[in-house]
C-alpha cells in the first residue's frame, strides 16, 4: 500500500450521510458477571480450553461497561455522526426468555442518552452472536422457539429505548452465527452439524422477520429497521464451468440465501437443495418465507473481502459452508491483511452496485468495514498504521464510486471503534482505529483514526461549501 492514499472525493456524499464506527457487546463490554447479566454461549465457549487463542475471554475485554463517558467522548473527538453497537440479550433477559433485568436496560439507556447528549446517533444491533446460554441449553438457534424468544427480547428493548433510537438492526452477520457456530464450529456454540447450521440459519431469518414486524407495529414513523448480513463478491478461479459452479454455490450460501429471503421472500432453488441434502427442509414451514420478507427501511451490509473459489476434490477442505467441501478457497492475488483477507475495495463498489441493480435494494448502510494489521506502539506511545488508513480510504472511495453510479448509500461505519476481542482469535488481532492497552485500558487514537476524524470534518465542510484538507496522518 502507498504512504499517500488518494483521498476520497469529499463532495459526493449526501448531506445526511452518517459517518460512524461499530462495536459489539461481547467484544468490548467486559463486566460479564455484573448487574444480573446471564451467561452466554460466548462465555461458555471462550472458557472452554482450546476454543479461543491463548485462552482469551471477553470477561474484561475493553471494559466499555465501566467507560461509557470516556468512550463517547472519544467518539465525539473523532467527529462521528453515529455509533453502531449491539445489545447483550442476556443483560436484558438473563435467561433469554424469562424475567427482565432492569439494570441491563438502564445500562443501555445511559449509553444512548450519553450518545444523544454528545450529538451522536445510536444505531442498535439486537443480536451480535451472544445468545443467552439458557436458550442454547434448549437447542439454541437450531430450535424454532429461540426465534420466538428473540421477538420478545426485541420488543422489550425497542419499548425501552425506542424514544432515543431511530435505527434498529435485528441481526449481525447471521451467516457467521449459523455456519461458523454450527457447521465449522469455529464460533460458539462450537457445533459441527450441517443440519443444525441450516436450521439455525432459517430460525435466525425467521427471528429477523417476526421481530421486525413486532417492532414496526409499535414504532413511530421515524424508526428504521434493517438487517446486517456479511456479503462477499465471489470470483471463480478460472473460466472452467466447474469453477463457475463452485462460485455459484458459495454465492448462494454467502449472499443470495440472506438477500433473496429478506428482500424477495424466497430461498434460492440451489440453497433449498442444500437444505434438502442435509435433511433440514422441514425447518421451513408454510408461510415462513413471507414472514421473513418484511419491508425494510435499510439494508446493512458488512464487507471485508471477496471469495476466490475453484472446484475442489470433495475431500473436505475445512470450509465453513455446509456442502462447501466441494469447493477450494483460493488466496486473493491482492495484498492481504493480518487476517489473510485480500484488500479488494472494488469488490465493495461492485457489491453495492449489484444490490442496487439485482435486488432494487432499500437504502444501504455499510455497517462494518475495516482491517486487522499488526500494530506497533512506538516509544512515544503512538500507533502509526498507514495500511489500515489506506484500507479505509480506499473503501470509502469505493462507496463514493457506488454513489456516483446511482446506489443509495446512507452511511459508512468503520470496524472497529476500539481494538477488541476478535472471537476465536482473542486479543491478538486488532481492528480498532483506537488502540486499547489491555493492561491499563488506556485508549490511543491510531493514525488511521486521526485520518478518519479529519476525513469526516472535510466531508462536512465540503457539504457546507467550505474547504478543509485532510492532513496525511
Position among 19, 89, 225, 431 found at the interface with ligand IFM (CB under 6 A): 431
- Residue 86 binds to ligand IFM (criterion: CB under 6 A): no
| Residue 69 beta carbon to ligand IFM: minimum distance, rounded to whole angstroms | 24
Rule CB under 6 A: which of 90-149 touch ligand IFM? none
Rule CB under 6 A: which of 357-396 touch ligand IFM? 368
Three cell numbers, residue 372 = 486487522
Contacts of 362 (CB under 8 A, 6+ apart): 226, 263, 296, 297, 298, 299
- For 49, other C-beta atoms within 10 Å of its C-beta total 6
Angle of helix 145-161 versus helix 102-117 axis, rounded to 10: 50
| Residue 299 beta carbon to ligand IFM: minimum distance, rounded to whole angstroms | 16
| Residue 150 beta carbon to ligand IFM: minimum distance, rounded to whole angstroms | 18
Position among 232, 415, 427, 452 found at the interface with ligand IFM (CB under 6 A): 415
What is the size of the binding site for ligand IFM (CB under 6 A)? 8
Nearer to ligand IFM, 292 or 424 (CB): 424
Phi-psi region of 269 (alpha: psi -120 to 50; beta: other; left: phi over 0): alpha
Nearer to ligand IFM, 22 or 394 (CB): 22
Contacts of 273 (CB under 8 A, 6+ apart): none
SS3 61: coil
Nearer to ligand IFM, 190 or 236 (CB): 190
- For 72, other C-beta atoms within 10 Å of its C-beta total 19
d(CA 406, CA 7): 21
Nearer to ligand IFM, 13 or 415 (CB): 415
- Residue 302 binds to ligand IFM (criterion: CB under 6 A): yes
> Peptide bond before 189: cis, by omega within 30 degrees of 0?
yes
- For 229, other C-beta atoms within 10 Å of its C-beta total 24
Three cell numbers, residue 257 = 440465501
Annotated catalytic residue within 289, 344, 368, 400? 368
173 is catalytic: yes
Q: What are phi and psi of 225, to 5 degrees?
A: -120, 145
- Residue 173 binds to ligand IFM (criterion: CB under 6 A): yes
**Beta partners for residue 453, in sequence order:** none
Nearer to ligand IFM, 151 or 183 (CB): 183
| Residue 341 beta carbon to ligand IFM: minimum distance, rounded to whole angstroms | 9
CA distances from 368 to 39, 83, 170, 410, 468 (A): 26, 11, 15, 13, 26
Nearer to ligand IFM, 294 or 332 (CB): 332
Residue 199, CB-side half-sphere exposure with 13 Å CA sphere:
20
| Residue 127 beta carbon to ligand IFM: minimum distance, rounded to whole angstroms | 12
Position among 326, 397, 400, 422 found at the interface with ligand IFM (CB under 6 A): 422
| Residue 366 beta carbon to ligand IFM: minimum distance, rounded to whole angstroms | 12
Cβ pair 188, 181 in contact under 8 A: yes
* Vertex 322: Cα angle to 150 and 329 (nearest 5): 120
State the binding string over 12-51 for ligand IFM (x if CB under 6 A, else -). Answer: ------------x--x------------------------
| Residue 31 beta carbon to ligand IFM: minimum distance, rounded to whole angstroms | 18
d(CA 441, CA 421): 13
| Residue 276 beta carbon to ligand IFM: minimum distance, rounded to whole angstroms | 30
Rule CB under 6 A: which of 250-289 touch ligand IFM? none
Nearer to ligand IFM, 236 or 320 (CB): 320
Closest CA to 230 of 168, 298, 180, 303: 303
- Residue 243 binds to ligand IFM (criterion: CB under 6 A): no
Closest CA to 100 of 136, 153, 40: 153
d(CA 185, CA 98): 28
Contacts of 184 (CB under 8 A, 6+ apart): 192, 318, 319, 320
Annotated catalytic residue within 29, 101, 121, 173? 173
State the binding string over 323-362 for ligand IFM (x if CB under 6 A, else -). Answer: ----------------------------------------
Nearer to ligand IFM, 67 or 429 (CB): 429
- Residue 419 binds to ligand IFM (criterion: CB under 6 A): no
- Catalytic residue numbers read 173, 368
Which residues of the chain form contacts with ligand IFM (CB under 6 A)?
A: 24, 27, 173, 302, 368, 415, 422, 431
Amino acid at each position: 500500500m502507498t504512504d499517500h492514499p488518494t483521498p476520497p472525493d469529499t463532495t459526493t456524499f449526501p448531506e445526511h450521510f452518517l459517518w460512524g464506527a461499530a462495536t459489539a457487546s461481547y467484544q468490548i463490554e467486559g463486566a460479564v458477571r455484573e448487574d444480573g447479566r446471564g451467561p452466554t454461549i460466548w462465555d461458555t465457549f471462550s472458557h472452554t480450553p482450546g476454543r479461543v487463542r491463548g485462552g482469551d475471554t471477553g470477561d474484561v475485554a475493553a471494559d466499555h461497561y465501566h467507560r461509557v463517558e470516556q468512550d463517547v467522548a472519544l467518539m465525539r473527538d473523532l467527529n462521528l455522526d453515529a455509533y453502531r453497537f449491539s445489545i447483550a440479550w442476556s443483560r436484558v433477559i438473563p435467561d433469554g426468555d424469562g424475567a427482565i433485568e432492569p439494570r441491563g436496560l438502564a445500562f443501555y439507556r445511559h449509553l444512548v442518552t450519553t450518545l444523544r447528549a454528545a450529538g451522536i446517533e445510536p444505531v442498535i444491533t439486537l443480536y451480535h452472536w451472544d445468545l443467552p446460554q439458557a436458550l442454547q441449553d434448549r437447542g439454541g438457534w437450531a430450535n424454532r422457539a429461540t426465534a420466538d424468544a428473540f421477538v420478545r427480547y426485541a420488543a422489550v428493548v425497542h419499548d425501552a429505548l425506542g424514544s432515543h433510537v431511530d435505527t434498529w438492526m435485528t441481526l449481525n452477520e447471521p451467516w457467521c452465527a449459523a455456519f461458523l457456530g454450527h457447521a465449522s464450529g469455529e464460533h460458539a456454540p462450537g457445533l459441527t452439524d450441517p443440519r443444525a447450521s441450516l436450521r439455525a440459519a432459517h430460525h435466525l431469518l425467521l427471528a429477523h422477520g417476526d421481530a421486525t414486524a413486532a417492532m414496526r407495529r409499535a414504532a413511530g414513523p421515524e424508526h428504521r429497521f434493517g438487517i446486517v448480513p456479511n456479503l462477499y463478491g465471489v470470483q471463480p478461479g478460472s473460466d472452467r464451468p466447474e469453477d463457475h459452479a463452485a462460485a455459484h454455490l458459495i454465492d448462494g450460501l454467502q449472499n443470495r440465501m440472506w438477500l433473496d429471503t429478506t428482500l424477495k421472500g424466497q430461498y434460492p432453488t440451489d440453497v433449498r437443495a442444500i437444505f434438502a441434502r442435509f435433511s433440514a427442509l422441514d425447518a421451513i414451514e408454510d408461510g415462513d418465507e413471507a414472514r421473513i420478507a418484511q419491508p425494510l427501511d435499510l439494508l446493512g451490509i458488512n464487507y471485508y473481502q471477496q471469495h476466490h473459489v475453484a472446484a475442489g476434490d470433495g475431500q473436505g477442505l475445512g470450509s465453513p459452508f455446509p456442502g462447501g467441501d466441494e469447493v477450494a478457497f483460493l488466496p486473493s492475488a491482492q495484498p492481504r491483511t493480518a487476517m489473510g483477507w485480500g484488500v479488494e475495495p472494488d469488490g465493495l463498489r461492485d457489491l453495492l452496485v449489484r444490490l442496487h441493480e439485482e435486488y432494487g435494494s432499500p437504502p444501504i448502510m455499510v455497517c462494518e468495514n475495516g482491517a486487522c494489521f499488526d500494530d506497533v506502539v512506538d516509544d512515544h506511545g503512538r500507533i502509526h498504521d498507514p495500511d489500515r488508513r489506506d484500507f479505509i480510504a480506499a473503501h470509502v472511495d469505493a462507496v463514493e464510486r457506488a454513489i456516483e453510479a446511482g446506489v443509495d448509500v446512507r452511511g459508512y461505519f468503520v470496524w472497529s471503534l476500539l481494538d477488541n476481542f476478535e472471537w476465536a482469535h482473542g486479543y491478538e488481532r486488532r481492528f480498532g482505529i483506537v488502540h486499547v492497552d489491555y493492561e491499563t485500558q488506556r485508549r490511543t487514537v491510531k493514525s488511521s483514526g486521526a485520518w478518519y476524524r479529519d476525513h469526516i470534518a472535510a466531508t462536512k465542510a465540503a457539504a457546507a461549501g467550505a474547504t478543509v484538507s485532510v492532513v496525511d496522518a
